[in-house]
Every structure is written in structure tokens, then in C-alpha cells.
């Protein structure tokens, strides 16, 4: 009886020691580094939203996830990457891959008037023409994500002062963001008299970072790029 009692006590201590370990799910930075998997870094991020290594964990999770799907032969993996990492390092590559499975719409409708067609997918490139009439149907040839661009456009008509004179800028005017100043930004833009630098409220501009540009062809065979805000795929 005494031997049986000792075995029972030992068994109880063993179970007591095992159960807490079985219910414990560790999500420390050291655990994530040791496992070095997308799942481990995601577990760390979810368990430590204010952790000291959040930025490193996000970068590593992004890279590991991309490496796991970059050679996929279906669209699902690339779409899930874009859903999981909307601002991920491989966003443009995922969009390019996705377009191989989901071809662009053949036609698009221009949603503004006097829209500039540019030689490249940037507001600083030269104009190759203008779509004068809203509702014009064009052919879509390609598209491009602006990534971390520092370009912006005016959301509404704005008057600024240059050398003591007032200059009126129409909505859609292209600008380059030079510096972030909390509620405002320092910008530069081109006029007939040269480049103007001024400060505008963030409420008056729309940043173009991460937005789409479309390469289009008009009925009169003008080929160039227009900002995606002004084009609706059909």
C-alpha cells in the first residue's frame, strides 16, 4: 500500500507539472526568432501589439509570407498577400502577378474633364495629350502602382500667393510633397512662370502614394498614362 501511495503522489506531481506547460503558448520575440516562420512572427505581433520588435516582426513576416507564395500558379496566394500586407514590400510584384491571372479590363471610362495624359506614370512627366470630355471611353493597356510616391493632387480649387501675387490652382493640380508639417505639408508645383513652393493644409490634397496609374490609348491613338482616380474600368 505504501509503494502504491508513493507512485500515486509521484504521478500527481508529474501531471501537475505537465498541465501548465501544455496550456502555455509562448509568443516572445526570442520564440519568434527561433522558429523563424510567418506564423511565429504573426503570433508575436498579435500577442505584443506594442512590443519592442513589432517593426522587425512585420518585415520578417512579410518576407517569409512572400517567399512562400511568390511562385504560386494561381491568383489566390497573391490576393491573400495583398490582403495581409496592403503596404507590404512586395505589393507591386504581387499586383503584377495577380494581373497575369486577372487581365485588365479592355475599356475604361474617364471620370473627369481636361485630364492630362502623361508620358510616364508620374505627375512630373511631360504631357502627351488631354482627355477633354468626361465620360470618354479609352482602351486600357497597363497599370502601375505608385508605391511610396511623394506626389499629390489638389482635391479642390485653391488660391496661393507667389511673390505677392495670387495664383489660383484648379482641383487635380499635381504637386510634390516636400515636408510633412503635422496638419499641413510643404509642397512644390509648376506654373507657366516656374516652380512655386508653398504650404497647404492636408485637407486640400490627396496623396498619390499606393494609388494606381493606367496606361491608356484614346480613339485618336494618343498613348500615355492617367491617374487612376480619373478612370473607371468597364
Q: Taken in order 30, 31, 36, 38, is the CA torsion positive or negative? A: negative
Mean pLDDT of 219-230: 90
Q: Which of the four pLDDT bands, split at 50, 70 and 90, describes residue 222?
A: very high
- Determine contact, residues 118/226, Cβ cutoff 8 Å: yes
User: Residues spanned by CATH 2.30.30.40 within the chain?
Assistant: 107-148+210-233
Measure the CA–CA gap between 229 and 172, rounded to whole angstroms: 10
Per CATH, the architecture of 151-207 is what?
Roll (2.30)
Residue range 191-202, pLDDT digits in tens: 777 787 888 888
In this prediction, what percent of the chain has a pLDDT beyond 90? 26
Mean pLDDT of the chain: 80
Task: Let me know how many helices (H) and strands (E) the chain has, helices first.
Answer: 6, 14
- Determine contact, residues 79/98, Cβ cutoff 8 Å: yes
Q: Which of the four pLDDT bands, split at 50, 70 and 90, describes residue 135?
A: very high
Question: Which is the CATH superfamily of the domain at 107-148+210-233?
Answer: SH3 Domains (2.30.30.40)
Q: Which residue has the higher pLDDT, 29 or 98?
A: 29
Residue range 161-202, pLDDT digits in tens: 777 778 788 777 878 888 888 788 888 887 777 787 888 888
- Whether pTM > 0.75 for this model: the answer is no
- What residue spans of the chain are helical by DSSP H? 2-22, 29-35, 38-47, 54-69, 75-84, 91-101
Burial classification of residue 150, based on how many CB atoms lie within 10 Å of its CB (0-12 exposed, 13-18 middle, 19 or more buried): middle
pLDDT over 90 (residue 217): yes
Residue range 51-97, pLDDT digits in tens: 889 999 999 999 999 999 998 877 888 888 988 898 889 988 888 88
Report the relative pairing of strands 115-118 and 205-207 from DSSP bridges. unpaired
- pLDDT reported for residue 103: 62
Amino acid at each position: 500500500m505504501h509503494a502504491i501511495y508513493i507512485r500515486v503522489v509521484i504521478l500527481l506531481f508529474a501531471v501537475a507539472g505537465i498541465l501548465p506547460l501544455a496550456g502555455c503558448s509562448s509568443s516572445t520575440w526570442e520564440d519568434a526568432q527561433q522558429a523563424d516562420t510567418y506564423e511565429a512572427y504573426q503570433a508575436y505581433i498579435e500577442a505584443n501589439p506594442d512590443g519592442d520588435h513589432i517593426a522587425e516582426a512585420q518585415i520578417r513576416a512579410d518576407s517569409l509570407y512572400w517567399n512562400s507564395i511568390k511562385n504560386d500558379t494561381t491568383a489566390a496566394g497573391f490576393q491573400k498577400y495583398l490582403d495581409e500586407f496592403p503596404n507590404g514590400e512586395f505589393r507591386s510584384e504581387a499586383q503584377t502577378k495577380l494581373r497575369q491571372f486577372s487581365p485588365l479590363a479592355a475599356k475604361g471610362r474617364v471620370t473627369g474633364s481636361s485630364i492630362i495624359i502623361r508620358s510616364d506614370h508620374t505627375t512630373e512627366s511631360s504631357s502627351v495629350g488631354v482627355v477633354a470630355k468626361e465620360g470618354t471611353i479609352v482602351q486600357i493597356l497597363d497599370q502601375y502602382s505608385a508605391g511610396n510616391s511623394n506626389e499629390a493632387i489638389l482635391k479642390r480649387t485653391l488660391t496661393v500667393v507667389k511673390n505677392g501675387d495670387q495664383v489660383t490652382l484648379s482641383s487635380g493640380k499635381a504637386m510634390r510633397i516636400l515636408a510633412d508639417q503635422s496638419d499641413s505639408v510643404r509642397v512644390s508645383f509648376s506654373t507657366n512662370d516656374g516652380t512655386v513652393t508653398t504650404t497647404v493644409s492636408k485637407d486640400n490634397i490627396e496623396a498619390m502614394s499606393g494609388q494606381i496609374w493606367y496606361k491608356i490609348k484614346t480613339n485618336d491613338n494618343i498613348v500615355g498614362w492617367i491617374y487612376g482616380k480619373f478612370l473607371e474600368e468597364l
